[in-house]
Structure 1
Amino acid sequence: MPPANRPTFRFAPSPTGRLHLGHALSAILNAQEAQRVAGRFLLRIENTDLTRCTPENEAGIYEDLTWLGLRWEEPVRRQSEHFADYKDALERLQALGLIYPSFLSRGEVRRRIADAEATGQRWPRDPDGVPLYPGDERGMPDAERQARMASGAPFAWRLDMHAALMRVGHPLSWTETGEGPAGETGQVQADPSLWGDVVLARKEFPASYTLAVVVDDALQGITHVVRGRDLFHATAVHRLLQTLLDLPEPTYHHHRLVLDGEGRKLSKSAGSQSLADLRAAGATPGDIRVMLGL
């Protein structure tokens, strides 16, 4: 079977810290599924944030995955080497009139929300519980936008969600072979509007995760996205961008999360025990699989 036609899976960690058991579950499931269907297993390093991603953590990713016994195709796609791809996608959306620069700081947004809620208003929030952006600049005259950008004011490129949905003009969905938080599976209806005007890039960053992931998946020929259930609802925005940019639609499989003793998902920011720590304590790759219920 030609490589372009083979089922293709990927594991795409960000080198902002060492991998933990949650990463191990996702990596192993992707590698196992690729092997089961005689497909391809790719590795992608998601390092658009050059201030938080380090070469040491990237080296740790290769070390941990090799220790687990996983093998992947070369070369590894490193996002920092492909900023032009994200710029091209952003320019395509800009040519369609679907993005705008937003200038409100986080502090200004928080004050706006606090003022509204003080009067009894309920501020809309996305599926992760984050307040939606007010969208003040959607109707800002272009001359004012250009002047503020030229002045060096910090800004983010946001998707005009209403305009994007109007352009698509039909309901969106995706094929789910895993399940969502409420057991959603099969053909799942996508509602990108729940996320509001999402950030696609910032002045200092060429692409947010939201934009980069759909561009990378398309350019790498990813046919099956196997990832944690915490990204289930975000798939709605990914499907919207795939449709707007005329990109192929993968099949999605959202798997269970690995939780700590208090029922929270493991995370680098919370200091969850890393695979390197477990290895140093004497754990074997087989022990890791037992811990993961594999």
Structure 2
Amino acid sequence: MTLLTFRFAPSPNGELHLGHAYSALLNRQMAARAGGRLLLRIEDIDITRCTPEFEAGIFRDLEWLGFEWEEPVRRQSEHFSEYRAVLDRLIAEELVYPAFMSRGEIRAFIAETEKRGRDWPRDPDGVPRYPPLDKALPTKERRRRIAENKPFAWRLDIEAAMARVPGALSWVEFTDETMAATHTVDATPQAWGDVIVARRDIPTSYHLAVVVDDALQGVSHVVRGQDLYAATSVQRLLQDLLGRPAPRYLHHRLILGSDGRKLSKSFKDTGLAALRQAGVSPQDVVRLIGL
């Protein structure tokens, strides 16, 4: 019998807060209830913001909470060659293209379009979708710009990608942490437009890396915050394109600050290290987050 596998996957670009504690301990609780495995993954592809100091802080906080995980810990920054191989496949299959427009150029293009009375579409996060200009560039022009070291990112050609998927995309979502009931969610990756799947200097993105990692690590259940619910559509598309299995999902409630907003790593008063130094116990944290 295959064991169910859960994972907690923080990014070491700041200190953990109460929201992270809820996600980590909920994963622990569900894995224990199912008699499954619990993994820790360090998602540190952002090499400019992620630091060894923040990673060390993650380990201190999780050990203090009593969160235990299997070894070895997978660090994404140690597996760029694996992501590059997957990216090369997407390039060879003409499912991605180099996108050269700067943020300023994107804003100017959209402003000009909207000046003519056409509303520009936004993605589920409210960010304007990427304009289609680079998708129409001839191969020779793309190569010339790359040879001249023009900055670019690899974007998924959403139309080409959707054309490769046989039938409708969906995923299985648990209705609560007891895993007693599920429902099927229709995936809508086209709502995001042509998302970034890699950058010139980093051969992956969050979407691509998480799909590769979950498959390689045999993750069967992804338990994470409601703020990533819409992003699951993009990951389901990549899973189908790459022939990776689709985990089951639970997008849990978010822990909010006193102002009603989602917690951020910039909120020092809810940081686990600050709470620990103030004399708060792990049991107090469990009560604070409502577990």
- What TM-score, normalized to structure 2? 0.96
Partner of 2:289: 292
Counterpart residue number, 2:24: 27
CA contact (8 A) 1:266 1:272 kept: no
Cα displacement (A) at 1:24: 0.5
CA distance in 1, matches of 2:188, 2:238: 12
How many Å apart are 1:206 and its aligned residue?
1.8
| AA in 2 matched with 1:13 | P
Tell me which residue corresponds to 1:227: 224
Alignment of 1:259-278 (within 5 A): 259-269=256-266, 273-278=270-275
Aligned 8 A contact 1:178 1:255 in 2: no
Match of 2:48 in 1: 51
- Counterpart amino acid of residue 215 in structure 2: A
Shift of 1:121: 1.6
1:239 CA displacement: 0.4
Q: Deviations over 1:225-266 (max 9, x none)?
A: 000000101111100000000001100000000111221101
Does the 8 Å CA contact 1:225/1:251 hold for their aligned counterparts? yes
Residue 215 (structure 1) aligns with: 212
SS at match of 1:85: helix
Deviation by residue 1:104-157 (Cα, 9 ceiling, x = unmatched): 001110111122222322110011101000021112111111110010100000
The residue correspondences of 1:1-294 to structure 2 (distance < 5 A) are 1=1, 5-178=2-175, 186-269=183-266, 273-294=270-291
- Does the 8 Å contact 2:268/2:274 carry over to 1? no
Shift of 1:270: 5.4
Distance 1:273 1:156, change over 3 A: same
- Judged with a 3 Å threshold, the aligned counterparts in structure 2 of structure 1 residues 287 and 271 are, in CA distance, closer, same or farther, namely closer
Q: Secondary structure at the match of 1:75?
A: strand
Task: Give aligned pairs, total.
Answer: 286
**How far off is 1:43 after superposition?**
0.2
Structure 1: tracts of 5 or more residues without a match:
180-184
Deviation at 1:221, TM superposition (A): 0.5
Distance in 1 separating the partners of 2:136 and 2:60: 49
Measure, in 2, the Cα distance between the counterparts of 1:134 and 1:83. Answer: 28
For the residue of structure 2 that corresponds to 1:74, the secondary structure is strand
Structure 2 gap ranges (5+): 177-181
Report % sequence identity.
Answer: 60
- How far apart in 1 are the matches of 2:222 and 2:139? 38
